[in-house]
Amino acid sequence: MVLQGPWNPGVAGRSTWPQGILTLADEARFGGYEEALAFFGGEQWRETPRRGDPPQLVFNYARALIRKTASYVFPAPVGISVVPEDESPDVANRAERRLIALRDALDLTRLDLALTLDSAVLGDAAMKVTWDHEASQPRVVPVDPGTLVARWAPDNSRAVEAMTQGYALTGQEIGRLFPSSSESLDAGRRYPVIEEWTPARWRVLVAGQVVRDGPNPYGWIPYIVVANDPRPVSFWGTSDLDDLMDVCRELNRRMTVLSHVLELSGAPIAVLENVDGSEGIRVGPGAKWELPEGSRAYLLDLLQGGGAEIHLRYIDVLFRVLHDLSETPRTAFGDSGRNLSGAALEVEIQPLVQKVGRKRRMWDGVFVTRNAMLLDLLERFGGEDLGGLRRTETMWPPVLPSDATSAVRNAVSLVRGGIQSRRSAMASLGENDPDAELARIQEEVMPDRLATPSPRA
């Protein structure tokens, strides 16, 4: 069983990492994760409110935009197709059905949606693929990227040579995993745990002491990092919030100012001119003031001269910038504000379609790697004969809503024209197990054919 647990900065800090593992770049990355997560959670003001300042309003459009994009990336479960290669199609179909069953049993659809949110917010997400001996099946669990340190080849940032994870467990939890190492540990105290993985070895340290050092049982590093829009020379990704933070903060400030102006306009300020003091002047219904000769009183109208319109126009510009930077047009929320044709709507939402395409290309690589790991675990530890197949393809649902009737009509035309197979047509229409469905169709058709007499009879 592989150690799992949350990272505890108070227990495992820089001094507890093995020397030469944690770098200044890693510490800066961890700090960026904390800042991005706090911003996503609503901590979007840099200024500390002073006494008497109006409440600092937060309109968390950044969170709404990121969630909206994630829902377009994964509007429905993705399909899996195993490439037969030299094996028979029956073996590939069996491997495909096994992967689909694992996807549903491990609830990977929900996990993938959560990880795409994490990668958009933090810039990175991660998961760990291992074998669960108790359940006799693979295990896929999320991992906090703030607990990972990677080392890659000097000439290839995508070729990971080692991965180290640091987290904390109680003495009792460590005793369940490593009984021989728990004799001197306090059951209720938390201890730092370091896992070091290379393709050849797996090493575990508890409170600086080596408790496991031996061959890697898998032959590959069991971590998969989902890097969001990484630079070509970088292993780690970038957060979608980087471009949105400034405009969101400015939007919060302008909305707070406008809210304060409207509040003061509802309870206008009385201005007194040529008055030395305010003794005897009381504010209330029916109050009368006796002012000295040559003085005057009037109400300050903060909305005079279209002041509110200036704020509203500026806020409208901020919204436009926000949608442009996030590549998520207002149309994605179901409101274009205009009567547009279907083609015009597709053109207007094209920036989001292109953004979703970039993220799906990133996930294509993730799915290929994860499926290969799952198939390897099923053969190596589960004893299943899958013919050594490892290569898979991802079948994505359409980004935009489509006309199901039109899609079926097109698929039927392609099949009749000999351009596409029935199996491929069913997969494109969202059928998770085309082979099983085709078998059921055959079972229904054959009795009908046998019962129908031939023309010669």
φ, ψ dihedrals at 187, nearest 5°: -60, -35
φ, ψ dihedrals at 126, nearest 5°: -150, 155
The pLDDT assigned to 188 comes to 84
> Are the C-beta atoms of residues 224 and 115 closer than 8 Å to each other?
no
Q: What kind and span of H or E run contains 38?
A: helix 24-40
Q: How far apart are CA 233 and CA 155, in angstroms?
A: 9
Mean pLDDT within 232-255: 94
Mean pLDDT within 343-367: 88
Domain locations in the chain? 14-54+70-242, 403-449
The pLDDT assigned to 323 comes to 93
- CA-based diameter of the chain, in Å? 121
Q: What is the pLDDT of residues 126-173, one digit of tens each?
A: 999 999 988 999 999 999 999 999 999 988 888 999 999 998 888 888
Segment among 58-67, 188-197, 306-315 with least mean pLDDT: 306-315
Q: How far apart are CA 117 and CA 66, in angstroms?
A: 7
Q: What is the pLDDT of residues 46-81, one digit of tens each?
A: 988 888 788 899 999 999 999 999 999 999 889 898
Mean pLDDT within 363-368: 96
The pLDDT assigned to 143 comes to 95
Segment among 3-17, 59-73, 346-360 with least mean pLDDT: 3-17
pLDDT classification of 189: cutoffs 50, 70, 90: confident
Exposure string for 128-155, b = 16+ CB within 10 A, e = fewer? bbbbbeeeebbbbeebbbbbbbbbeeee
Q: Which residues are registered as beta bridge partners of 394? A: 80
Percent of the chain with pLDDT over 90: 46
> Are the C-beta atoms of residues 123 and 129 closer than 8 Å to each other?
no
The pLDDT assigned to 303 comes to 57
> Are the C-beta atoms of residues 68 and 332 closer than 8 Å to each other?
yes
The pLDDT assigned to 4 comes to 39
Mean pLDDT within 435-452: 69
Q: How far apart are CA 110 and CA 118, in angstroms?
A: 13
What is the residue-averaged pLDDT of the chain? Answer: 82
pLDDT at 280 over 60: no
Across the beta sheet with 223-227, what order do the strands follow?
Answer: 137-143, 124-132, 223-227
DSSP 432: S
Q: Count H helices and E strands in the chain, helices first.
A: 12, 12
Residue 68 corresponds to which tokens in the numbers above?
Answer: 């909206």
The pLDDT assigned to 9 comes to 40
pLDDT classification of 341: cutoffs 50, 70, 90: low
Q: What is the pLDDT of residues 285-305, one digit of tens each?
A: 555 656 566 555 555 555 565
Q: How far apart are CA 40 and CA 32, in angstroms?
A: 12
What DSSP assignment string belongs to 10-30? TTS-GGGSPTTTS-HHHHHHH
Cβ burial of 113 (10 Å; 0-12, 13-18, 19+) is middle
pLDDT classification of 1: cutoffs 50, 70, 90: very low
The pLDDT assigned to 412 comes to 82
pLDDT classification of 423: cutoffs 50, 70, 90: confident
Q: How far apart are CA 106 and CA 114, in angstroms?
A: 14
Q: How far apart are CA 185 and CA 182, in angstroms?
A: 5
N-to-C CA span, the chain: 67
User: In a 3-state reduction of DSSP, which class is residue 284?
Assistant: coil
pLDDT classification of 264: cutoffs 50, 70, 90: low
pLDDT classification of 435: cutoffs 50, 70, 90: confident
The pLDDT assigned to 360 comes to 96
pLDDT at 30 over 60: yes
